[in-house]
C-alpha cells in the first residue's frame, strides 16, 4: 500500500511537472516581446557607469528585480484566486502598454534627429566628467531607475503568464509563475552582464595581440550593433506580442483577421503580421490619447 501510494505521488509529480513545462513554454512565447525589451533596456542602464562598476550595478539591479518578483508573484496568485475576472482586462492593458511603448520608440526614432541624440549623449558624458558629480549618488540613481523599469516590465510579464495559467491548479500557477520570474532574472541579467562586458573583452584581446586580436576588434565593433539589434528585435516583438494579446482578447477582431488569412503554409505569418499591424494601430491610438491628456494638462492653470 505504501509502495502504491509512493508511485501514485511520483506519477502526480511527473504529471504536474509535464503540465508546468508546457505552460512555461507557452508563457515564454507570450512574454518574448517584453523580455527582448527588458534585455535591451537593462543593458542600456549601465551607460555612464565606469567599466569597473558595470557588473556590480547589474548585480544590484538583479537583486532589486528579485524583490520585485517576490511582490508580483503573490499578487498575481491573489488576483487569480479572488479576482479572476480581472485577468483579461489586465492582459489587454499589458498588451496595449506594449504597443504604446513600441510606437513611442518609433516616434522618438523618427521625430528626433541624430544631432539631438548626439547632443544629449555629449551633455551626459560632460556631466559625468565633472568632478562635482558624486559617482556613488549617480550609481544609486541608475540602480533605482533600473529597478523601477524592471518592476513595470516584470508586471507585464507576470500578467501575461497569469493569463496562460489561469484556470490551472494553484500549485501549477505558483510553479510556472516562480519559474518565469526566476528565469527572467537569471536570463536577462546574466545576458546583460555578458553584453556590457563584451567591449571590455574585445579591448583586452586587442591589447594582448596575437591571433585573437582581430576577434577583439570585431567584438568592439559589433557590440554597439548588437545593442541596436536587440532594441529593434524588442520593438518588433512588442507589436507581435501586444497586438496578438489584444486581437485574441477581442473575438470580433480575431474573427475578422482570420477571415482574411489564407489557408496554407504562410497562414501563421499572415496572421502574425496582421496582429502586428493591429498592435501598431492600437499603440498609435494610445499614444494620441496620452499626448492629448498631456496637452490638456499643459493648458490647465495650476491651482494654488
Residue linked to cell 496572421: 271
Note whether residue 304 is domain-resident.
no
Note whether residue 268 is domain-resident.
yes
User: Domain containing 225: what range?
Assistant: 2-299
For residues 259 and 267, the answer to whether their CB atoms sit within 8 Å is no
Note whether residue 193 is domain-resident.
yes
Calpha distance 201→91 (Å, rounded): 41
Note whether residue 120 is domain-resident.
yes
Q: Which residue has the higher pLDDT, 230 or 278?
A: 278
Calpha distance 179→173 (Å, rounded): 10
Task: Report the number of distinct structural domains present in the chain.
Answer: 1
C-alpha cell at 291: 499626448
Q: Which of 204-218, 220-234, 236-250, 256-270 has the highest mean pLDDT?
A: 236-250
pLDDT, tens only, 75-102: 989 998 898 889 889 888 888 988 998 8
Average pLDDT over residues 34-53: 55
Note whether residue 160 is domain-resident.
yes
- Count CA within 13 A, CB hemisphere, residue 275: 26
For residue 31, which of 230, 240, 174 has the smallest C-alpha distance? 240
Write the DSSP symbol of residue 261: P
* Range with lowest mean pLDDT among 50-54, 91-95, 202-206, 241-245: 50-54
Which positions ≥6 away from 37 have C-beta within 8 Å?
Answer: 98, 101, 153, 234, 235, 237, 238
For residues 37 and 235, the answer to whether their CB atoms sit within 8 Å is yes
Question: Collapsing DSSP states into helix, strand and coil, what is residue 56?
Answer: helix
Amino acid at each position: 500500500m505504501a509502495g502504491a501510494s509512493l508511485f501514485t505521488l511520483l506519477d502526480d509529480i511527473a504529471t504536474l511537472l509535464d503540465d508546468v513545462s508546457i505552460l512555461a513554454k507557452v508563457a515564454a512565447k507570450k512574454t518574448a516581446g517584453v523580455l527582448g525589451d527588458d534585455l535591451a533596456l537593462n543593458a542600456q542602464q549601465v551607460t555612464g557607469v565606469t567599466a569597473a562598476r558595470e557588473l556590480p550595478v547589474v548585480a544590484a539591479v538583479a537583486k532589486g528585480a528579485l524583490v520585485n518578483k517576490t511582490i508580483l508573484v503573490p499578487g498575481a496568485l491573489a488576483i487569480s484566486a479572488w479576482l479572476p475576472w480581472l485577468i483579461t482586462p489586465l492582459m489587454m492593458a499589458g498588451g496595449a502598454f506594449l504597443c504604446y511603448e513600441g510606437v513611442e520608440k518609433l516616434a522618438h526614432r523618427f521625430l528626433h534627429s541624430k544631432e539631438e541624440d548626439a547632443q544629449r549623449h555629449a551633455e551626459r558624458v560632460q556631466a559625468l566628467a565633472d568632478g562635482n558629480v558624486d559617482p556613488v549618488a549617480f550609481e544609486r540613481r541608475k540602480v533605482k531607475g533600473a529597478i523601477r523599469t524592471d518592476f513595470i516590465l516584470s508586471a507585464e510579464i507576470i500578467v501575461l503568464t497569469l493569463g496562460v495559467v489561469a484556470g490551472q491548479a494553484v500549485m501549477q500557477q505558483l510553479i510556472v509563475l516562480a519559474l518565469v520570474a526566476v528565469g527572467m532574472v537569471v536570463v536577462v541579467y546574466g545576458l546583460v552582464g555578458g553584453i556590457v562586458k563584451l567591449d571590455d573583452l574585445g579591448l583586452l584581446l586587442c591589447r594582448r595581440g596575437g591571433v585573437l586580436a582581430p576577434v577583439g576588434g570585431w567584438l568592439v565593433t559589433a557590440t554597439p550593433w548588437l545593442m541596436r539589434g536587440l532594441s529593434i528585435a524588442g520593438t518588433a516583438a512588442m507589436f507581435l506580442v501586444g497586438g496578438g494579446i489584444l486581437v485574441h482578447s477581442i473575438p470580433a477582431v480575431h474573427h475578422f483577421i482570420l477571415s482574411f488569412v489564407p489557408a496554407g503554409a504562410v497562414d501563421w505569418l499572415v496572421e502574425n503580421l496582421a496582429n502586428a499591424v493591429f498592435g501598431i494601430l492600437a499603440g498609435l491610438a494610445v499614444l494620441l490619447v496620452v499626448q492629448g491628456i498631456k496637452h490638456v494638462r499643459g493648458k490647465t492653470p495650476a491651482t494654488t
